[in-house]
């Protein structure tokens, strides 16, 4: 009888120690997950600040170097795509018809939101003072961040909403896509 009681005590003590080990194993995993989430939030905040600053700088820069500035803040694919969209049906070298444009880019971008025939981020040809009214994180993926952005030009009393995808490439943020409605 004594042996059974002693064996039971060892069994109970052994089970209690095992539970402690399981707890210790899960705590570092939870800490690592929290650190990853914090890092992603910090990176999303950095992407937001970069996007806001880049937009304002783009519209304040000399219009003569607008194309170079656009290349600095966008991916190569998006730059080529937006250049094609802006030049659809224009009488310039390399311009495409709308059908050719859609066929060329439909596998990479939503061509219905390309902003065909209009400029980068705003449909207006002229502006006075473009500011970022709001820039809210809509979602994040392993590839990047998607922001709902509203630009404001108080001089023309205009608001320009768009959805902008930002990615991190070679250690810097770049605009990878802009979903832009065409003006009616």
- Mean pLDDT is lowest, of 23-37, 62-76, 86-100, 159-173, for 23-37
Which residues have a Cβ under 8 Å from the Cβ of 149 and sit 6 or more positions away? 51, 55, 132, 134, 135, 136, 161, 162, 163, 164
Q: Residue 184: pLDDT above 50? A: no
Q: d(Cα 149, Cα 170) in Å, to the nearest integer?
A: 24
Task: Give the residue from 179, 154, 161, 160 showing the smallest Cα distance to 81.
Answer: 179
- pLDDT value of residue 33: 54
Assign 4 a pLDDT band (cuts: 50, 70, 90): low
pTM across the whole model: 0.76
- pLDDT value of residue 62: 82
């Amino acid at each position: 009888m004594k042996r059974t009681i002693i064996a039971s005590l060892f069994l109970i003590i052994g089970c209690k120690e095992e539970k402690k080990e399981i707890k210790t194993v899960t705590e570092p995993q939870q800490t690592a997950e929290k650190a990853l989430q914090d890092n992603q939030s910090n990176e999303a905040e950095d992407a937001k600040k970069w996007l806001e600053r880049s937009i304002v700088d783009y519209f304040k820069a000399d219009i003569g170097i607008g194309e170079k500035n656009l290349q600095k803040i966008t991916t190569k694919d998006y730059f080529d795509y937006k250049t094609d969209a802006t030049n659809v049906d224009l009488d310039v070298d390399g311009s495409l018809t709308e059908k050719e444009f859609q066929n060329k880019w439909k596998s990479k971008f939503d061509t219905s939101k390309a902003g065909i025939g209009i400029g980068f981020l705003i449909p207006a040809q002229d502006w006075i003072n473009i500011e970022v009214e709001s820039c809210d994180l809509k979602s994040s993926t392993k590839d990047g961040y998607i922001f709902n952005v509203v630009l404001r030009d108080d001089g023309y009393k205009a608001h320009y909403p768009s959805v902008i995808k930002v990615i991190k490439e070679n250690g810097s943020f770049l605009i990878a896509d802009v979903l832009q409605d065409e003006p009616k």
